[in-house]
Structure 1
């Protein structure tokens, strides 16, 4: 419970050892709104991902995000929160005193009720799992995803959140900076997505089949909802309605704006024309890149982070074949890569607000934080998928994949005029 309050003070140049504050109704009201904004991000992600897939798999793609709301919401209540933030933990995992969210009544996290903090953090845990789904759409069995997702949330996400955000966590103790989840959420989700895509294998026909977005307006709608919700995601991480929250919100505006323009410029230079999907992708990449730094850097530094994050992610998207995995919706390129760039640039540029330590040392700490996250999520995801495969197959059959995930997984279709062949892969080469 103490971690976020410590972050807010650090961003303002204060001390985490200050006298414990009293309950603030203003801060509490803001955090209730911020938590609701973060909740909206997961349905927004469902539209973003859903529009990028084939028509006959749109519902299944969206359901992976929507189901995460229920699955992680329950698991966070039962054990996830206490594994991440439970008092009396050690350097690796939280104590078990808050199982079932017991013991939070009447407690404070900074100037807000601990129950509000638990709810806010629960929204983070939900969207972290939903992000992973983008790499495995159109081929992973829905039940297998849910089983993997539950284990991932408890055994990978919660301990990592403890490492970085809990006052007892070992990365927190080293001084790692991650204001709103660049490491805990985006690098973790991106690396796990890449490993999962590799384990599952490519979609049928990949890379010779054209898997084009079936509904670009969905993509734009989802990106807009994500940008709106991300204001609560980043600014809410101050745990107060204060100057820190204001700086985080401002940087959450300017960094994606820069990333959007950089992405469109790079796209125009490569293909001759900017695209709507490129605009949506660029702004999301900018949001990812600024997340760890949003309260630690000035707006001009945020512009730099957004632009460099977009350039790095664009380069990886263009070279995705070299990754050796069919990451269907470029989760690693857009979240993993942008998250890594953002985390490292946080160390390099945090001095712009006076919140960072010596740049060289902070960069080393940030690099260690990134490395630890990659190791935990990469190895952990591999082991969990192997475990799940012993219980249930990970993939649907080739026939089900061609027919579409909506019919085989949910017995329904996204569009009344869709039939079994709507949006089927178009082979442009190979067998």
Structure 2
């Protein structure tokens, strides 16, 4: 066993897990003061719930070996509860449970991302029901499509999910998604759009009505997300090598460029660059570079970051033009950014991109992968959310929403400014 790679993978898993509390701060700062506890609890609820589901059966669905390559989901019954993965095979680079832990953190953050679209108006219990069902029938299967892989006895690549290995068999080149542009960001963004449509608009929804109550929280959250993202991207190599180093450098370059681009767009459009814009721009660049971090030269990563910052800064306005209330811009940043980064590879992926030695085939398979995940996630998320809304109810009462849902749902306040007697 390679102790260096094992340590690398475990550290990266810890970094990615930190991203979910970072997301809680990022989202928590963006909502109104009387909803901050509720918003952050949606992320922490996902940590608890998905962490348990992953051990019980999530990993068994996402990594069923060669059996689950095309069908929406299948289960490796021997991996249920992870009891079969405790022993370390001879010659393994790292213990199987290290990989299980790393992938668990991806599942957690993906589910938590969806919650930003329903801020200020969602019931916690209904969110937990949605997260359970959506993770089971959407995230775990899609993770199998993208991340499921296996090696032959001689160490060569033997099989993988249909998005990577399957399309390589059909088109001669597989879709590239190194760290989850499809499985994480497009997947979560599409589900967020579906839930925003199911729950409807917040009371008084219009441009300029809701403003972030705590920009320092937003900056703190963005900083923690960027820090953890190095584990997200570089760790996806599963080894401390040159590819991981390339992913690491691109995880600096792209979000840095996106941050600058977002601020320029804000200055031109609104007259002032904002701290929330800086944080959002960095996250947009991180989203876009996720699928592409190991397949681009750094100069092309900077260009991708500039595009992501500018495009996502404009895309967040779509909710006002199209009339859907995506509270914290999950669609504008994660869905649009994920699509941009995934399709960008069709033009600039090393060796196969249209402008760097390849042809249009890479762009074709990138588009098939991106829109397959988008449609699958959107349709099922809408059905699940609609069923919850029509049965137990997903949205709080309007009067509770106006008053702020922290005390109604959790019996707590985010800010207690003075002692009060009972």
Same fold (TM over 0.5): yes
User: Does 2:84 align with 1:103?
Assistant: yes
Give the conservation status (yes or no) of the 8 Å contact 1:351–1:359. Answer: no
Give the conservation status (yes or no) of the 8 Å contact 2:288–2:308. Answer: yes
Q: Number of paired residues?
A: 397
Normalised to the residue count of structure 1, the TM-score between the two structures is 0.89
State the shift of 1:418 in Å. Answer: 8.7
State the shift of 1:390 in Å. Answer: 4.3
Q: What runs of 5+ residues in structure 1 fail to find an aligned partner?
A: 1-22, 420-431
Q: Distance in 1 between matches of 2:183 and 2:126?
A: 23
Give the conservation status (yes or no) of the 8 Å contact 1:88–1:94. Answer: no
Q: Distance in 2 between matches of 1:102 and 1:322?
A: 51
Aligned to 1:170: 162
Aligned to 1:42: 20
State the shift of 1:318 in Å. Answer: 2.5
SS at match of 1:359: coil
User: Does 2:175 align with 1:193?
Assistant: no
Give the conservation status (yes or no) of the 8 Å contact 1:87–1:94. Answer: no
State the shift of 1:324 in Å. Answer: 2.6
State the shift of 1:308 in Å. Answer: 0.9
Choose which of 108, 117, 120 in structure 2 pairs with 1:135.
Answer: 117
State the shift of 1:118 in Å. Answer: 0.5
Aligned to 2:171: none
Aligned to 2:274: 275
Q: Distance in 2 between matches of 1:378 and 1:305?
A: 26
Show the 5 A alignment for 1:184-263: 184-207=183-206, 210-263=209-262
* Higher mean C-alpha displacement, 387-396 vs 246-255: 387-396
Q: Distance in 1 between matches of 2:404 and 2:13?
A: 35
Q: 1:31 to 1:389 in 2, by over 3 A?
A: same
State the shift of 1:200 in Å. Answer: 0.3
Q: Distance in 1 between matches of 2:94 and 2:207?
A: 53
Aligned to 2:10: 32
Aligned to 1:181: 180
Deviation per residue, 1:97-140 (Å, 9 max, x gap): 21111211224696221100010000000000110000001001
Q: 1:208 to 1:345 in 2, by over 3 A?
A: closer
RMSD: 1.9
Aligned to 1:71: 49
Aligned to 2:371: 371
Q: Distance in 2 between matches of 1:418 and 1:310?
A: 41
Q: Distance in 1 between matches of 2:285 and 2:227?
A: 13
Q: Distance in 1 between matches of 2:321 and 2:85?
A: 48
State the shift of 1:339 in Å. Answer: 0.3
Q: Distance in 2 between matches of 1:308 and 1:171?
A: 25
* Higher mean C-alpha displacement, 315-324 vs 293-302: 315-324
Q: Distance in 2 between matches of 1:208 and 1:161?
A: 36
Q: Distance in 2 between matches of 1:121 and 1:134?
A: 22
Q: Distance in 1 between matches of 2:389 and 2:197?
A: 14
Q: What runs of 5+ residues in structure 2 fail to find an aligned partner?
A: 150-159, 168-173
